[in-house]
Amino acid sequence: MTSRERVNIALSHREPDRVPLDLGASTVTGMHVSTVYNLRQALGLDAPGTPVKVMEPYQMLGEIAPDLMDALGVDVVGLGGPRTLFGFENKGWKEWQLLDGTPALVPEGFNTIPEPDGSLFLYPEGDKAAPPSGVMPKGGFFFDSIVRQSPVDDDLLDPQDNLEEFGPITDADLEHFRTEAERLYSQTDKAILANFGGTAFGDIALVPAPWLKHPKGIRDIEEWYISTAIRRDYVYEVFALQCEIALRNLAKIHAVVGDRVSAVFITGTDFGTQRGPFISPEAYRDLYMPFHKAVNKWIHKHTEWKTFIHSCGSVTALMEDFIEAGFDILNPVQCSAADMSAEELKSRFGDRMTFWGGGVDTQQTLPFGTPEQVRAEVKERIRIFSKGGGFVFNTIHNVQANTPVANLVAMYEELREQA
């Protein structure tokens, strides 16, 4: 059975020959570059000092190269756009060293140098003539967005300002998706998880628009969240216009990509906190569900793609709404949050939703547990989630820096033993 067949069988809620594995196919299923470096060293894939590419500088995610995929048995590859979250392309690779000494390769647009206080700034499109849009504090491991917004004047607010980053997909980006989809489909046997962009309504990582030099509209994180309540009509209009653009772009993308893609990342908007939903089900149904329904309906009518929603935190109270909205896949399946037990999720929703994640806790078990505790949790999660299919193994969100390599090895060894 090929990796692609394995994933597609799992997505159809049947049991494949073994649990499929994702590592690095999206920006929420990856691994910090320093941890990738340590894992490659532990597996003997590189000589000491061999750098690892930083594929997404916002979270400092490392490249999961084909040899690492083969060593671990990874079944999924990612298809994303040509630019990072800071707007520069992954090209012109150059050597760079993380603050902890990890050797890395970064794109030429990654042109930061330490500030006097030890912090690092990144700039939209790598243009230092523009205000910085990201900062890594001294001793940090990834970048935080810098809010670049003047005080909001409600009399001057125009929904078009929050649509600056959306528009008809360019011919260059269409060609990128066409050629990359063809390459990944023909040169690997992996399932493709695509992120075409434009369909994440209110994803707070995207609201500050770190790739834009001078973003307009509501770009402050706190102001945006407040606006979903006090400026509901404004936000709804932004979403409605964004959805129209997204549907037109999806038609163009499908025309060049076809059904080579197994699943497509729709949204990374977080609707849960550690203790419960971030918003009420009623608020979700009012402000977000209409547009999720529209996107999922178009995809299911015109393509064979399965649709992927990423939402951290406790979202059990929203699961029926996610299913009604048409989502096929939930990630990261944060079982450590309130009311998110693996048993309950699988028993209540496992025949209608694929769980892509939930394999091991990245808040406690993986970074702070013992290898034996990691093995036990991985074994238990596989037992629960794999029954009847509908499970793709991944950690709960990205694997962070300083994760013990012995725990990583234990995780992947246990996964292999459960095959």
- 181-202 pLDDT, tens digit each: 999 999 999 999 999 999 999 9
Distance CA 383, CA 353 (A): 17
Would you say residue 40 has pLDDT above 90?
Answer: yes
Q: Report the pLDDT value the prediction gives residue 353, as an integer from 0 to 100.
A: 98
Q: Report the pLDDT value the prediction gives residue 99, as an integer from 0 to 100.
A: 87
Q: Which residues pair with 31 in a beta bridge?
A: 399
Q: Report the pLDDT value the prediction gives residue 8, as an integer from 0 to 100.
A: 98
User: pLDDT (tens digit, 9 = 90+) per residue, 91-139?
Assistant: 999 999 998 999 999 999 999 989 999 999 999 999 999 999 999 999 9
Would you say residue 90 has pLDDT above 80?
Answer: yes
The phi-psi region of residue 330 (left if phi > 0; otherwise alpha if psi is between -120 and 50; otherwise beta) is beta
Distance CA 353, CA 203 (A): 21
User: pLDDT (tens digit, 9 = 90+) per residue, 48-58?
Assistant: 999 999 999 99
Q: Report the pLDDT value the prediction gives residue 150, as an integer from 0 to 100.
A: 86
Distance CA 358, CA 364 (A): 13
Distance CA 345, CA 339 (A): 9
Encoded amino acid at 151, one letter: P
Domains, in order of start, for the chain? 3-50+63-85+149-417 (3.20.20.210)
Alpha helices, DSSP H, located in 43-193: 66-72, 171-187
Structural tokens at position 88: 């520069």
